[in-house]
Amino acid sequence: MRDVTVGKMSAPLAIISGILLALSYPLFNFWPLAWIALIPLFYALENSNIGQSFLLGWLAGLVMFIGQIFWLKVFHLSIPFIVSAYLGLYFGLFCLFYRLIADRTKNLNLLIAPILWTLIEYVRSIGPWGFPAGILGYSQHLNIYLIQVADKIGVFGISFIIVLVNISIFLAIKERSRIAAVQFSAVAAILVICFVYGFAKVSMADTKGDFRLALIQPGIDFRAEKGYNPDRSLVVLEDLTKQAAAQKPDLIVWPETVITESIRLNPALARKMYKIVNEAGTYFLIGNGDIKNVGGRIKHYNSAFLISPKGEVLSQYNKIHPVPFWEVLPLRYYVGFLKNVEGKGVCDPGSAYTVFETPKGKFSALICFEGMFPDLSKRFVSSGAQFLVNISNDSWSQSRTEHYQHASMNVFRAIENGVYYIRVGNSGVTKVIDPYGRIVKSLPIYKKGYLIADIKVGKF
């Protein structure tokens, strides 16, 4: 017979789980809460039928995502609720399937829950409409020793372990049986092994290198300046670049879309940019838009260009995974209250996994949103990239939370691939992450400046 008292508390328990999960991520960063956050939800499911289980899961997901992506209100107050209501459906599916299976596999529930959770997270992150923000493993970006095991199991494996701990605690409290106690002890042993592995790995780290990077954070506020003005942007970029070039870097990196007008279509703008490059006398990675005629069709790309010290474009990467509903099917062109929102236009997906080459090392670029996707980074590294550079422009969000949430996910790309991960943002977060997920250097957000860092190229 189900506990009637707990049954009456089902919705509040689901809400509590959503709140605890939201607090686990930036800006709050109370990451230990993730290890117990699902326990109230599991209690709520104990007294629910299939339909109720779906609604409880959806409610928990709705609360969690509103707490995470409230900054989407920059577009319209309704947007965080609409997006959260959609993403909450995945939580609902987890609870539905868990409730459907749990009564039939009582002795296997310890594994059923983490398997279901991880599978649904993975499904949510793949395909052209994939949106992997809020993956449970990302809550642990500061838990540096535990997440070292991501080099073996990835961020989804970290999610698996977190859910495994939650369900083992729940079963131990609920059942108070010898089997549950043994299961809890086994899970605790797994955690200890992960921490020992991580501690040993980090303690043996040697990341000193001689590839010098100069990362430019211009801090251009396009809203305050009433739009994108390439001439104003170039003045800021030129000043910071001259200062950084005095440190003799091997590569200077500019962020995404601070120069939105295509240098291919504007020779005067291109000449100004190349003048800055020539004076610096080193290699540049520059984010810029591009337009090409491909098979009789005009295509628009969000691109990154590697430019030689002589001002020659050596190679180009076109963003493979555009942002759904923003760069692909951009709703702001069709929905009335979004039409005044500034931002990039339509972006066609690229197809080539470009590896840029300089005399001292090879690297690949990921543009903004692409840093969320584990498979994309792995593909670049397997193609020969010795480090990864993510160029971004998060100034549109007007939110510190969005900046730090977006950047926190990059820690896992460094660990998963065993390479340095460099992030360069117009307004931040500009930082250098070593192959063990440690922040070597960073700049404060919303500050004009540059960062000089020496890294070791290659896979660790």
3-state secondary structure the chain: CCCHHHHHCHHHHHHHHHHHHHHCCCCCCCHHHHHCCCHHHHHHHCCCCHHHHHHHHHHHHHHHHHHHHHHHHHCCCCHHHHHHHHHHHHHHHHHHHHHHHHCCCHHHHHHHHHHHHHHHHHHHHCCCCCCCCCCHHHHHCCCCCHHHHHHHHHHHHHHHHHHHHHHHHHHHHHHCCHHHHHHHHHHHHHHHHHHHHHHHHHHCCCCCCCEEEEEEECCCCCCCCCCCCHHHHHHHHHHHHHHHHCCCCCEEECCCCCCCCCCCCCHHHHHHHHHHHHHHCCEEEEEEEEEEEECCEEEEEEEEEEECCCCCEEEEEECCCCCECCCECCHHHCCHHHCCCCCCCCCCCCCCCCCEEECCEEEEEEEHHHHHCHHHHHHHHHCCCCEEEEEECCHHHCCHHHHHHHHHCHHHHHHHHCCEEEEEECCCCCEEECCCCCEEEECCCCCCEEEEEEECCCCC
Which of 226-240, 354-368, 416-430 is least confident? Answer: 226-240
Q: Compute the distance between CA of residue 371 and CA of residue 250 in angstroms, rounded to an integer.
A: 23
- Does 331 score more than 60 pLDDT? no
User: Domain boundary at 203, 230, 263, which?
Assistant: 203
Please report which confidence band the pLDDT of residue 282 belongs to, taking 50, 70 and 90 as the band edges.
very high
Tens of pLDDT, residues 225-240: 655 677 788 999 999 9
Query: Do 197 and 115 share a structural domain?
Result: yes
pLDDT at 7: 57
Neighbours of 267 (CB within 10 A): 9
Tens of pLDDT, residues 150-197: 999 999 999 999 999 999 999 999 998 899 999 999 999 999 999 999
Query: Do 194 and 326 share a structural domain?
Result: no
Mean pLDDT of the region 352-380: 96
pLDDT at 386: 98
Mean pLDDT of the region 381-399: 95
Q: Compute the distance between CA of residue 213 and CA of residue 107 in angstroms, rounded to an integer.
A: 54
The single-letter code of the amino acid at 15 is I
Of 389, 370, 401, whose CA–CA distance to 431 is shortest? Answer: 389
Asked whether residue 356 is domain-assigned, the answer is yes
- Does 341 score more than 80 pLDDT? no
- Does 45 score more than 90 pLDDT? yes
Query: Do 379 and 256 share a structural domain?
Result: yes
Asked whether residue 414 is domain-assigned, the answer is yes
Query: Do 233 and 279 share a structural domain?
Result: yes
pLDDT at 229: 76
User: Domain boundary at 185, 203, 221, which?
Assistant: 203
The number of angstroms, rounded, from the C-alpha of 270 to the middle of its chain's C-alpha atoms is 31
Query: Do 253 and 192 share a structural domain?
Result: no
Give me the number of domains the chain comprises: 2
Asked whether residue 87 is domain-assigned, the answer is yes
pLDDT at 124: 94
pTM metric for this prediction: 0.93
Query: Do 353 and 295 share a structural domain?
Result: yes
Asked whether residue 365 is domain-assigned, the answer is yes
- Does 143 score more than 90 pLDDT? yes
Task: Specify the higher pLDDT residue, 95 or 342.
Answer: 95
Asked whether residue 134 is domain-assigned, the answer is yes
Query: Do 220 and 197 share a structural domain?
Result: no
Query: Do 265 and 192 share a structural domain?
Result: no
Query: Do 247 and 385 share a structural domain?
Result: yes
Please report which confidence band the pLDDT of residue 6 belongs to, taking 50, 70 and 90 as the band edges.
very low
Asked whether residue 460 is domain-assigned, the answer is no
Active site residue ranges: 256, 319, 368
pLDDT at 428: 92
Asked whether residue 148 is domain-assigned, the answer is yes
Query: Do 154 and 17 share a structural domain?
Result: yes
pLDDT at 5: 46
pLDDT at 9: 78
pLDDT at 257: 83
pLDDT at 70: 93
User: Domain boundary at 180, 203, 226, which?
Assistant: 203
pLDDT at 1: 42
Asked whether residue 327 is domain-assigned, the answer is yes
Query: Do 435 and 370 share a structural domain?
Result: yes
Mean pLDDT of the region 314-321: 94
CATH number, domain of 264, equals: 3.60.110.10
Could you tell me what percent of the chain has a pLDDT over 70? 92
Summary mean pLDDT of the chain: 91
pLDDT at 221: 81
Please report which confidence band the pLDDT of residue 344 belongs to, taking 50, 70 and 90 as the band edges.
low
Query: Do 81 and 16 share a structural domain?
Result: yes
Range of the domain at 418: 211-455
